[in-house]
């Protein structure tokens, strides 16, 4: 009988401590505390100016020098990290008060990108009359000038050769618009307006974009009255060097 009473006594004490511990944990979990840390990318470079917020609340801050952040939250809350060009990251607050968070760059891809006078755009949202000719679509063979590369590849682009091997083909993109028409298109080579197309070899051309209408050529003013041909040449790429 004495053993039974002792067991009940110690059992009651243990149950009392358990209830007190649960109450303490519950109170601790519901209390906001200061959460600090650093936000970095995969190369361990600090992300400065990123947004840090507590999900479902109005609490927010931004990362400072070294990607440091400080915000009040409680155990179980989720911190949301967002920054332009990076994937959003969520972190669930545990027992710790200091965290090092790593975010990854957003993997975005553009399909059917075309070059326009003011930059690059997706063909999906393009409203101007622009034709993009890829390298594999250009004419092959003994090519002497760019005109021969495009012959028969762009609707509305008239290319005619005089028969003189030392004279480039005549390129007419838009019809008669002035007293001196037809004039040659305005060439832009690797972003340089008005460059001489004869200065580059046809084998060095990576892609050609032909701007036809006024909306696409407006940035070049009256120089683009006869259309614009944007030429992009081949260039080195990052990676292991290859020789052939």
Q: Where are the domains of the chain?
A: 33-107, 113-233
33-107 CATH: 2.60.40.1120
Distances (CA, A) of 79 to 28, 63, 71: 18, 13, 9
Token pair for 209? 């974009």
Q: Do domains 33-107 and 113-233 have the same CATH topology?
A: no
Contacts of 96 (CB under 8 A, 6+ apart): none
Q: What is the pLDDT of residues 133-176, one digit of tens each?
A: 777 777 777 676 777 777 777 777 777 776 666 677 777 776 65
User: For residue 181, is pLDDT > 60?
Assistant: no
| pTM, rounded to two decimals | 0.43
Instruction: Determine the Cα–Cα distance for residues 242 and 244; give it in Å rounded to an integer.
Output: 7
Lowest mean pLDDT among 15-29, 113-127, 169-183: 113-127
* Confidence at residue 36, expressed as pLDDT on a 0 to 100 scale: 92
Q: What is the pLDDT of residues 69-116, one digit of tens each?
A: 999 998 889 999 998 888 889 999 988 889 999 998 876 554 555 555
Task: Express as a percent the part of the chain with pLDDT over 70.
Answer: 68
Q: What is the dihedral of CA 192, 195, 198, 200, to 10 degrees?
A: -20
Token pair for 139? 């004419």
Predicted confidence band of residue 39 (pLDDT cuts 50, 70, 90): very high
Inter-residue contact 106 to 84 (CB < 8 Å): no
**CA neighbor of 150 nearest in space, from 116, 192, 184:** 184
Q: What is the pLDDT of residues 1-10, one digit of tens each?
A: 444 455 555 5
The domain at 113-233 falls in which architecture? Beta Complex (2.170)
* Confidence at residue 37, expressed as pLDDT on a 0 to 100 scale: 92
């Amino acid at each position: 009988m004495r053993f039974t009473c002792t067991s009940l006594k110690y059992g009651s004490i243990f149950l009392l401590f358990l209830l007190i511990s649960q109450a303490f944990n519950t109170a601790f979990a519901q209390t906001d505390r200061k959460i600090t840390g650093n936000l970095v990318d995969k190369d361990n470079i600090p992300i400065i100016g990123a947004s840090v917020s507590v999900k479902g609340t109005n609490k927010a801050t931004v990362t400072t020098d070294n990607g440091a952040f400080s915000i009040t939250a409680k155990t179980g809350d989720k911190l949301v990290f967002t920054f332009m060009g990076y994937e959003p990251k969520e972190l669930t607050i545990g027992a710790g008060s200091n965290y090092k968070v790593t975010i990854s760059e957003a993997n975005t891809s553009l399909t059917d990108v075309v070059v326009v006078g003011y930059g690059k755009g997706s063909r999906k949202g393009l409203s101007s009359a622009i034709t993009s000719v890829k390298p594999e679509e250009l004419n092959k063979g003994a090519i002497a000038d760019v005109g021969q590369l495009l012959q028969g590849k762009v609707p509305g682009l008239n290319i005619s050769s005089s028969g003189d091997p030392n004279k480039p083909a005549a390129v007419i993109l838009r019809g008669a618009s002035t007293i001196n028409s037809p004039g040659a298109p305005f060439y832009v080579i690797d972003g340089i307006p008005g460059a001489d197309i004869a200065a580059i070899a046809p084998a060095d051309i990576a892609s050609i974009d032909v701007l036809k209408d006024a909306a696409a050529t407006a940035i070049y003013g009256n120089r683009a009255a006869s259309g614009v041909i944007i030429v992009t040449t081949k260039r080195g790429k990052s990676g292991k060097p290859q020789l052939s």
